Amino acid sequence: MRRFFQCQGGRRALLSGAVLALSLMSAQALDRLDFVVAGGDEALERTVRRASLLIAQQSDNQTDPEDLFTAARADYGRILGALYAEGHYSAVIRIAIDGREAAGIAPLDVPGRIGTIAVFVDPGPRFRFSQTVVAPLAPRTELPEGFRPGETAASGVIGEAVDTAVLAWREASHAKARVSREDIVANHASQTLSADIALAPGPALRFGPVTVKGAERMRVQRILKIAGLREGTKFSQTELDRAANRLRRTGVFSSVSLAESETVLNGGLLPIEITVAEQKPRRYSVGAELSSVDGVALTGYWLHRNLMGGAERLRLDGAITNIGSGESGVDYEFGVSIDRPATLTPDTTAGLMAKIGHLDEIDYDADYAEFGLTFTQYFSEQLTLRGGFSFEYVQGTDPTGDFRYRNLSLPFGVTWDRRDSTTDALRGFYIDGTAKPFYGLGTTGSGARLTLDMRGYRSFSDQRFTVAARLQGGAILGSELLETPRDDLFFSGGGGTVRGQPYRSLGIAVPDGMGGTYLIGGTEFAAASMELRARFGTSWGGVAFVDAGYVGADGSSDSHAGAGIGVRYETGFGPIRFDVAAPVSGDTDDGVQIYIGLGQAF
């Protein structure tokens, strides 16, 4: 009997718990969210819905009454701001929670259960500018094209016009320029908006004394030299921003800020205070990529950001590639470099580099070494110029016997990077060009090696789709094929050129002296890639791509192509890439190739 009653009690407890759980779920359930935007403007409706917190919470399956109530009250301002941004200044917004206007419910009277929320938005007419005045303006100031009578009176255009005008005065040395009067009047009868804004430029100023706050291991004098703000030079916002970017570029600091003093010194000098927070000086990174034919590639580096207290950067790099490759042996490389910013000028970084490595390719083995001096000039955050001097040594064996190459070179290059992201670009372009004149010693030829890499990105449909294109080219001028160092010649095939084709599978066949041939790189190279990338939600994406490559030398040439599809998973620091590709033209017939890595292919 005792067991019987215990069992009954357990059943009753379970039944009571289930009823309680169902009651709680029912109390929090949102039966329906009705969202209506009058007028039939689909683009405007999408804008309003994107601004709504209620829509966002519905997408996230949020049903807590307090959260829904808070979102409903916030949506008045959020939706109104979105409508102002589109030029609608006479909107009517109603948000009813179970029939009661959300704005009329006291914050301490939140309903215990919310069943239905009805949102009704009448945007009203679109207003246009009747008057657009921002004065006085600095010489050569160009206000936004949309800020003129007759154009849509978007609120963002007004802010953009004011920011543009103030920035122009700051560029003209008037650091204290500000808005002194702002008259913005909406005329509902005529459906127009008048914007009359007065500026007070203030006096022309010069950079004054610069002080530093927050330095620990970094020497203050080096911070000042890297920043490059010279006392007595004319103030400009561009120079202030460049000083901050120079300090950030060193990698020493986790944060950098430059603040202008409220007080102007005699002679129109404006003191500047630099506040920095230093990062941990050491860092390391490891990476891996996998290809079904090329095998595993392991890379890594160890970095010291501030070796001697002047932002000197010591970096050790290592790479082991083609591990488990069915086509060639294991390649490896080890390199060391040290860079020093603000050498010669605040925008010039000087460096020393050295590297050694081994290549175990299908038709030859080689050991190589390189030593050099490098200079990098930063014209802006997007445009850089590189130059230097180096000595290269290569010694190896191919089917014809031993070979050795030695040369002195003067490599230089330029990079113009206007992408919005280096790991997953949605828009912009990237151009990198190099030229390396070299003088051969002994049997090594003399000439020049040229390369070009161009990439472009364009997104559409609210950035859900991206078209990415890449063109690569290269040429050896002046040096004969067999007199050119092997690592300067060009191959095609693999993840960096033509996916679906085996790594370095396209080259130039040369006689081996025994009636056969062996493969080396060519003196001419071109490759093209096209991708269509799609995003599904916030984390997943897909891609379809096609690649083609060409290699030639001494009148002989060949080409091949590959195509495939892939999956992307966003990690927050770049997408994980999984691609499957196969040949579509060429002599190879190795079937499907698989590529796994971090970041987009280009």
Write the DSSP string, 193-256: EEEEEEEE-----EEEEEEEES-SSS-HHHHHHHH---TTSBP-HHHHHHHHHHHHHTS-EEEE
Confidence tier at 27 by pLDDT (50, 70, 90): very low
- The Cα 453–Cα 576 span in angstroms is 23
Give the position of tokens 């929090």.
28
**What is the architecture of the domain spanning 128-200?**
Roll (3.10)
- The closest alpha carbon to 196, from 187, 207, 185, belongs to 185
Q: What are the DSSP E strand ranges found in 379-446?
A: 383-398, 401-409, 412-417, 428-441
Q: Determine contact, residues 337/352, Cβ cutoff 8 Å.
A: yes
The pairing of strands 92-97 and 192-200 is unpaired
pLDDT per residue as tens digits for the range 267-324? 999 999 999 999 999 999 998 888 776 788 899 999 999 999 999 999 999 999 988 8
Distance CA 328, CA 293 (A): 10
pLDDT bracket for residue 20 (50, 70, 90): very low
Are 350 and 374 in contact by the 8 Å Cβ rule? The answer is yes
Positive or negative torsion for Cα 461, 462, 464, 467: positive
| Single-letter code of the amino acid located at 247 | L
| Beta-bridge partner residues of 76 | none
Residue spans in the chain of domains classed CATH 3.10.20.310: 206-278
25 contacts: CB under 8 Å, gap ≥ 6:
none
CATH 2.40.160.50 domain span(s) along the chain: 362-598
CA-to-CA separations, 28 to 73, 148, 155, 383, in angstroms, rounded: 18, 50, 38, 55
The backbone torsions φ and ψ at residue 451, rounded to the nearest 5 degrees and listed phi first, read -140, 155
- The SS3 call for residue 410 is coil
CB atoms within 10 A of CB 266: 6
Mean pLDDT of 336-352: 96
Which residue, 262, 259, 272, 273, is CA-closest to 233? 272
HSE at residue 258, side-chain half, CA atoms within 13 A, is 25
- How far from the centroid of its chain's Cα atoms is residue 370's Cα? 31
* Mean residue pLDDT across the chain: 91
**Mean pLDDT value of segment 228-245:** 96
Confidence label for 13 from pLDDT (cuts 50, 70 and 90): very low
User: DSSP state, 94?
Assistant: E
Q: How many residues does the chain have?
A: 602
Contact 395, 404 (CB under 8 A): yes
CATH 3.10.20 fits 25-122, yes or no: yes
> Which residues have C-beta within 8 Å of that of residue 86, sequence separation ≥ 6?
44, 47, 123, 126, 152, 154
Q: What is the pLDDT at residue 29?
A: 58
Per-residue confidence (pLDDT) for residue 384, from 0 to 100: 97
pLDDT tens digits for range 71-114: 999 999 999 999 999 999 999 999 999 999 999 999 888 888 88
Residue whose pair of structure tokens reads 């122009």 in the numeric block: 168
Radius of gyration of the chain (CA): 32
Percentage of residues in the chain with pLDDT exceeding 70?
A: 95
Say whether 530 sits in a helix, a strand or coil.
strand
Q: Rounded CA gap, 366 and 384, in Å?
A: 33
Sort strands 269-278 and 206-213 into parallel, antiparallel or unpaired. Answer: parallel
- Is pLDDT above 90 for 25? no
Q: Are 408 and 426 in contact (CB under 8 A)?
A: no
Helix (H) or strand (E) holding 10: helix 2-28
The pLDDT value given to residue 590: 66
- Cα-based distances in Å from 60 to 41, 53, 100: 26, 10, 24
- Residue 116 tokens, joined: 């239905």
pLDDT at site 256: 97
Sheet holding 100-101, edge to edge: 32-37, 116-122, 92-97, 100-101
What CATH homologous superfamily does 206-278 map to?
A: membrane protein fhac (3.10.20.310)
- Tell me what pLDDT residue 162 has: 97
What's the burial of 184, exposed, middle or buried (CB within 10 Å: 0-12/13-18/19+)? middle
Cα angle 164, 165, 171; round to 5: 85
Q: At CA 85, angle to CA 71 and CA 98, rounded to 5?
A: 25
| 373 close to 390: Cβ distance less than 8 angstroms | yes
Between 325 and 108, the more confident residue is 108
Q: Write out the E strands in 442-539.
A: 447-460, 465-477, 508-511, 517-520, 524-536
Q: Is the pLDDT of residue 60 over 50?
A: yes
Separation CA 91–CA 79 (nearest Å): 10
Q: Does domain 362-598 have CATH number 2.40.30.10?
A: no
